[in-house]
Chain A
Amino acid sequence: MKTVLIADDKATSRELVRTVLENSGYTVVEASDGIEALQNARASKPDLIILDLHMPGLDGFGVVREIRRDKDLASTPVMALTASAMQGDRERAISAGFTSYIAKPIQLSALRSEVQRMLE
């Protein structure tokens, strides 16, 4: 069974994504900020990490930077999840080390297929 780490400071958003992913048969680990996301990632070695870009303390960009520097995690796919819809966000995320980018509000079908693609 594949493990997915979800980091988002909004509990409702975590629960939504967790429910969708658990329904699809994945094991879900949660984190409510960037620091916790890094700790949990190192502890549970997930197959996929989904990061909200806007988090207090260490934001999504900071987390992905640390992940790419960590030899145990460097090759893990990381998906950006954000409610910001500014032009260039996607490019910024990809060039910062994210593997994939998805905008809030998510369409459930889009989330499912993107997660599946990342884990193939």
Chain B
Amino acid sequence: MIAGLQLHKTSQSEVELRLPRRDGILIDVELWTGPCRDASGNTLGTLAIIAEVTEHHAVERKLARVEEELVLAMTQEKEAQAELRAERRFRDLLEAAPDAIIEVDREGRILLLNLVTEKLFGYTREEMLGQPVEMLVPDALRGGHAQHRADYWDHPVTRPMGSALQLHGRRKDGSSVPVEISLSPVKSADGFRVTAVIRDISERRKTEERLREMQQNYTRELEARNREVERANQLKSEFLASMSHELRTPLHTVIGFAELLSEELEGPLNEKQKRFLNHIHTDSTHLLALINDILDISKIESGRVELRREVFDVAVVLREILSSVHQQAAAKSIAIDASPSLSATIFADRLRVKQVLFNLLSNALKFTPEGGKVRIDAERRSGLIEISVTDTGIGIAKEQHEAVFDKFYQVGSTTKGVREGTGLGLAITKALVEEHGGSIRLESEPGKGSRFTFTIPNEEI
């Protein structure tokens, strides 16, 4: 019917349709339509071709299904592989961890562990898996561990276990190993678990122990050295005390016989003999003062100065001292101006206060040129007595103000007719003032004299 006809593709159209057959079954068809022309190109009419494609479609759908299944299978395979890779990575991570890692379920059974766990505790993987975690807890603490676990379930947060406690794990052989444990809750598809990271800290403990030992050794050494120093100091003080005794014994007779001779009971002396005897007496008395100073400083240094406090009047002590230095002052025509107004009772060591005043006053006389002036002021201030000794002497340069209180410090030269001292006077003076709870200070300028001021704490009596 259609032979000889040319179907011009260019103008054809194609439609897919589902049509009912006579028997009512739906069939898939393809309908092609297009213009029908003769040889010279004249359109004769429209040509329609209907072809059944039901079977064809069925094959196509099957193909599509197969393809879908294939894609699904591939996806699943890919996912499985990814999961496997993740699992392997997790394993690698677990096994590479430097710490023992275990996972425990709610009942305390070990579900997972790594190689380090085996090494740390000495059990094989098989021996531990599924077993209660208490097998790794020291015997003494095992009983209480279940309660600790229960408590952790109530507050499942990531935290170190038993912080501030020294934790130990129990090895298969019963030995114990110092550990540090941190716990973290893990929520997984199959429930709630706890991961414990257990770190073996034996090395750190050993290091700490070594450090502690070193420190103890060091402390012991230091203490031993301190004791040695103390002992040496003690020996020095004993030596000085004994030396002082040994030196005073012959001085006793030197001074005594000089005094005895000068009394002329054994016969009259000529002027020269008297003068010589006087030299012996003066110098041996000076030697005695030096010995006393050395004894004093040794007492001070060994902390054996004991104050014998009593109530006395400062004015009375001042008068006593003035009379004892009267001669020294007169010899250099130095006028001593003592504030007469003060009459204060204080509670202090009378002899020591006297010694302090005497030291300051005799220093003032020592370093003040002939015809100079020395003044003593005493004042009651709140809670203390302040006494100062001012001279018109050679003065002391600023940079030496601290050093004058040092032991064995000696100024370059004294003024005419004065003997050098031990260099201990001001060190002793300062120590005695401080022993009383007071303080001493110096104001001075070269050529402008000096003022030493000391205080003695004194509540109103």
Contacts and interface: CB of A to CB of B under 8 A. Distances in A.
Contacts of B254: 105
Contact of B256 (A85, A86, A88, A106): A106
A104 B292 CA distance: 12
A85 B246 CA distance: 11
Contacts of B248: 83-85, 104-105
B263 interface: yes
Contacts of B44: none
A108 B256 contact: yes
Interface in A67-120: 83-88, 104-108
Given A85-B244, A85-B295, A88-B306, A108 B260 contact: yes
B135 interface: no
Given A85-B244, A108-B263, 18 more contacts: A13-B253, A16-B252, A16-B260, A19-B260, A54-B245, A83-B245, A84-B241, A84-B248, A85-B248, A85-B292, A86-B241, A86-B299, A88-B306, A104-B248, A105-B248, A105-B251, A105-B255, A108-B259
B304 interface: yes
User: What are the nearest 6 A-B pairs in CB distance?
Assistant: A104-B252, A105-B252, A83-B248, A83-B249, A16-B256, A12-B253
Contacts of B276: none
Given A85-B244, A86-B241, A105-B288, A23 B252 contact: no
A88 B241 CA distance: 13
Contacts of A20: 256, 260
A42 interface: no
Q: What bracket does the count of chain B residues touching chain A fall in? A: 20 to 34
B63 interface: no
A10 interface: yes
A108 B241 CA distance: 25
Contacts of A105: 248, 251-256, 288
Interface in B234-289: 241, 244-246, 248-257, 259-260, 263, 265, 288
Contacts of A107: 259
Contacts of B249: 10, 13, 83, 104
A17 to B, nearest CB: 8
A23 B253 contact: no
28 contacts: A10-B249, A10-B253, A12-B250, A12-B257, A13-B252, A13-B253, A16-B253, A16-B257, A20-B256, A54-B245, A83-B245, A83-B248, A83-B249, A83-B252, A85-B292, A85-B295, A86-B241, A86-B299, A87-B299, A87-B305, A87-B306, A104-B248, A105-B253, A105-B254, A105-B255, A105-B256, A106-B256, A108-B260
Contacts of A87: 299, 304-306
Contacts of A88: 306
A100 to B, nearest CB: 17
A105 B256 CA distance: 7
A23 B245 contact: no
Interface-centre pick from A23, A83, A105, A108 (highest chain B CB count, 10 A): A105
Contacts of A86: 241, 299
Contacts of A16: 252-253, 256-257, 260
Contacts of B255: 105
Contacts of B241: 84, 86
A23 B264 CA distance: 12
B265 A23 contact: yes
Contacts of B244: 85
A83 B334 CA distance: 35
A88 B250 CA distance: 22
A85 B244 CA distance: 8
Contact of A84 (B245, B259, B299, B306): B245
A106 B304 CA distance: 25
B392 to A, nearest CB: 34
Contacts of B253: 10, 12-13, 16, 105
A19 B267 CA distance: 14
